[in-house]
Amino acid sequence: MANWTETTADIAGTQVVLIKGGTGKPLLVLHDEMGYTGWMTWNEELAKTHELIIPLQPGFGKTPRIDWIRNYRDLAGFYAILVRELNLDPLDVVGFSAGGFIAAEMAAADPRMVRHLVLVAPMGIKPATGEIMDIFPLTARSFLRMTVADPAGTPEFAKIYGGEMTPEQFEAFEDARAETARIGWEPYVHNPSLPYLLANAKKVPTLLVWGTKDRIVPRGCIDAYRKALANTKVVELADVGHRPEIENSAEFLRAVSAFVAS
């Protein structure tokens, strides 16, 4: 799979690395708190109908950290600048985990920017029941293994994280964890005002995707988003964890493709 390119864009004075691939309507993909995983099967399939635009978050990989970004709302504002400067809006947005938090903040701030909103196991709202897992007491490897229900039975998990961790990989994961802690520590990866501000996005068609064996984000987060957003659809994928896009790519793609085509 090599149907993608890496480029950079000067956004508000910062050189942001962008992964791009595919043709069609623009689809902004916001990676999770551990960074971009690489071009997977689900990317390849969605790229048949959309142009995927995947920014590497500031402080992740080759995109430098931006000191004035102090929380996820600031980060959402920065991505809104990116969308406008690249003349992409309105567009479809898919956010994974902490990336879902960012996407929800973007929709709350400017719902006209978002055509369809897909939130995959999203952080961002404190659940009424259950807790978002505290990832920081764990090693990076331990946390990553907990993101899937069956690591041995998930071939693309091995493709992403298999084998010995190189010094470069270790540093990248620790940099990602440090940046996540810097902008998401207090309150822990949620915004108490987000459920109320999402009233502004009540007309945005929203798809919530969650795996029934997710140990990172509890079902309570999905319930909280469904309560805050009126125009929502929930898709539960049985027997998968926090990464349904690689644990059950076929069902994930079926749900997302149908939704963004509507």
Residues 6+ apart with CB under 8 A from 195: 125, 224, 227, 228
For residue 262, the model assigns a pLDDT of 87
Sorted by where each begins, the domain ranges of the chain are 5-260
Please state, as a whole number, how many other Cβ atoms lie within 10 Å of the Cβ of residue 64: 13
The parts of the chain modelled with pLDDT lower than 70 are 1-2, 163
For residue 166, the model assigns a pLDDT of 81
Distances (CA, A) of 35 to 102, 144, 171, 220: 14, 11, 12, 24
- Each as own residue / partner, the long-range contacts of residues 202-205 (CB below 8 Å, 24 or more positions apart, any chain) are 202/229, 202/230, 202/231, 203/111, 203/230, 203/231, 204/107, 204/111, 204/114, 204/116, 204/117, 204/229, 204/231, 205/115, 205/116, 205/117, 205/231, 205/233, 205/259, 205/262
pLDDT digits (tens, 9 = 90+) for 88-109: 999 999 999 999 999 999 999 9
Strands 232-237 and 206-211: parallel
**CATH no. for 5-260:** 3.40.50.1820
What size, in residues, is the chain? 262
pLDDT digits (tens, 9 = 90+) for 164-212: 778 888 888 999 999 999 999 999 999 999 999 999 999 999 999 999 9
pTM of the model: 0.96
